[in-house]
Structure 1
């Protein structure tokens, strides 16, 4: 299995990105690549629609032992690419700006390695998961009978980390990535003629009060109780100079170290909104969207990651603080012992979700080797 082939495969995926829930061509490309480069008879049981649109490859040693899942994500983002290269995205407004093309290439490389280095005990599932970016994919996989019957003992996932040294591994006990949710506050008033605003209920003052009130919640930024509230979008009424606004929306992203603290923030915002809307004679609705639990690593699983790195001389660092971004991998860790870890993408690598980000092919080979040794340490 040549590194050059995996790099070319990654670039093919980069050129043909697919949004969350629509990764059918990506799954087909994975299966074609494995079929082309695997030696001998295929050893995988293939499930193309686990959790509706994810792909699972299962290797069964037919001997009792631990059942291990290694998961990568498939989906791209609704972002225009700002890189002009022979493998630039061919889909307008869609691109791989989180590196899931690289994650998919890594897991595909692991599949080829395991086809040559057979496990002796237990079972392995290589899970190519759909719809990570929208927070929907993991929950659907967890509800699928194939995944339930697999009965995992451990699950592991990974993500590339820009601005970190190339190929260095990053482990963390407890929370690796924060809980988050999108929140829409819908203010309901009454429109009127702009010449007679007193006959309506305009939410403009309430919006300004809400912004100030919610902003004060962000003051508590200790390591143990970290809150981050980001205002995303605000709108008021319609673009009509003759009409006083009768409605408005505030869109926020909320982040916290734990699910419990995120819930406290939501309750506080609900209390503030209730008070301000009552004072201003407004109705309101709160709507949550794209909710992610915190990604909380199991201590034993983290020890397994560290021991594997030590035993095979992989460079690593143990982190003190969680990442502020979120991952739907946290849904698995609520139900299954496991851990999520990071792989340095280079100190000069642009940030995730930025238009000029591109996954560094230099980390594919080392990542495949690390995951192979991890799997074989459990299943051989």
Structure 2
């Protein structure tokens, strides 16, 4: 078990991470800090630079067995932190306002438990993943050739969830987090004098049509297999001028579905709609995909294992508020492993994720570590 001294050290480590947040793709110093903390635990193997700045530590049992991966995220958010804390972010414009500093610390706490009381068989992989916030990190990690050497049979992750009672876990089999994709649509025509707009090609009419038409492709509704939602999040048409008829426009649309196949269909339909609108008025159209998240779906066997572990620990759980419309790129790990995402309550009145005054509650560190440790030992045993 974790000692009081462990908890003091781990809390200090978490708060130090909080002071120095690095956004997606820029987690160099965060990865170095994690590497140093892992080296002190003497795992059998440490793999660095996975899918960017990803780090994995491998603890092996004496007998053959399955590989169980536990994931945390390295990256912070491009949001200015506004809080009265001694450990507030020292970097202007970025902050650990989603709790990834706490998730990393839970994994390091698990590493201490495994190092002191080794598993009997198989392997435990502590995976510190880069670039979760923009949806690119998990895909980059699993596509990295080095990942094939530590590819898991089972994968688990915990995300803290403000609004859920402190220490209660949200868990269910099936969909946990929706797939989502940020689609940038760029329309290009020709500027003209505002007095003679007919001499140019304005995208304004196409934009007006697409605002409504794209939204009609996905209107939300119940979170079942048919769920589709298109949200227009940003529009820019030309420049702020009264003398120029615009020649270009940009539309940002966030597409959201309950599964990856539906996402592929919705993305194709959105592009066809935009291309048709552009062609009708003689515009060129280009597309760019951002923030591309796969659906996160809990395997029934993995969910049962997690429930059994929490029952043994006496941890309250339920499925209130699940599944969620919000996205998480952990789902990629579940494509070739039995995976489960758990939502660990941060408190009903805790500041919401991505809020400028959010801070991870340190008392969750031993709770998350205990859940992970029990899952690992239920699968792999103790030496």
Kindly indicate whether the alpha-carbon contact (under 8 Å) linking 1:184 and 1:288 is maintained by their aligned counterparts in 2. yes
TM-score, normalised by the number of residues in structure 1 = 0.94
In structure 2, C-alpha distance between the alignment counterparts of 1:229 and 1:212, rounded to whole Å: 10
1:147 deviates by 2.2
In structure 2, C-alpha distance between the alignment counterparts of 1:209 and 1:20, rounded to whole Å: 34
Q: Give 1:265-276 correspondences, 5 Å limit.
A: 265-276=266-277
Which position in structure 1 is the counterpart of 2:116?
116
Alignment partner for residue 31 of structure 2, among 18, 27, 31?
27
Which position in structure 1 is the counterpart of 2:9?
5
Which position in structure 2 is the counterpart of 1:52?
52
Which position in structure 2 is the counterpart of 1:130?
130
1:319 deviates by 4.9
Query: CA RMSD of the aligned region, Å?
Result: 1.8
- After alignment, is 107-116 or 44-53 more displaced? 44-53
SS in 1 for 2:292: strand
TM-score, normalised by the number of residues in structure 2 = 0.93
In structure 2, C-alpha distance between the alignment counterparts of 1:277 and 1:215, rounded to whole Å: 17
Kindly indicate whether the alpha-carbon contact (under 8 Å) linking 1:189 and 1:282 is maintained by their aligned counterparts in 2. yes
- After alignment, is 194-203 or 44-53 more displaced? 44-53
- After alignment, is 158-167 or 207-216 more displaced? 207-216
SS in 1 for 2:267: helix
Q: Which runs of 5+ in 1 are unaligned?
A: none
1:170 deviates by 1.3
In structure 2, C-alpha distance between the alignment counterparts of 1:328 and 1:368, rounded to whole Å: 21
Kindly indicate whether the alpha-carbon contact (under 8 Å) linking 2:135 and 2:292 is maintained by their aligned counterparts in 1. yes
1:362 deviates by 1.8
1:76 deviates by 0.5
1:262 deviates by 1.8
Residue-by-residue CA offset, 1:146-181 (whole Å, 9 max, x unaligned): 321224211111111111011111112111101000
Aligned length in residues: 376
Which position in structure 1 is the counterpart of 2:309?
308
Q: Is 1:284 aligned to 2:288, yes or no?
A: no
Q: Give 1:363-374 correspondences, 5 Å limit.
A: 363-374=364-375
Kindly indicate whether the alpha-carbon contact (under 8 Å) linking 1:257 and 1:322 is maintained by their aligned counterparts in 2. no
SS in 2 for 1:64: strand
1:260 deviates by 1.8
Q: Which runs of 5+ in 2 are unaligned?
A: none
SS in 1 for 2:65: coil
In structure 2, C-alpha distance between the alignment counterparts of 1:129 and 1:176, rounded to whole Å: 19
Residue-by-residue CA offset, 1:159-212 (whole Å, 9 max, x unaligned): 111110111111121111010000111112111122211101111122111111
- After alignment, is 73-82 or 352-361 more displaced? 352-361
In structure 2, C-alpha distance between the alignment counterparts of 1:171 and 1:282, rounded to whole Å: 48
Kindly indicate whether the alpha-carbon contact (under 8 Å) linking 1:74 and 1:100 is maintained by their aligned counterparts in 2. yes
- After alignment, is 276-285 or 132-141 more displaced? 276-285
Kindly indicate whether the alpha-carbon contact (under 8 Å) linking 2:105 and 2:365 is maintained by their aligned counterparts in 1. yes
1:35 deviates by 5.5
Q: Give 1:1-380 correspondences, 5 Å limit.
A: 1=3, 2-34=6-38, 42-224=42-224, 225-319=226-320, 321-380=322-381
SS in 2 for 1:187: strand
- After alignment, is 325-334 or 26-35 more displaced? 26-35
In structure 2, C-alpha distance between the alignment counterparts of 1:20 and 1:14, rounded to whole Å: 15
Kindly indicate whether the alpha-carbon contact (under 8 Å) linking 1:188 and 1:203 is maintained by their aligned counterparts in 2. yes
SS in 1 for 2:343: strand
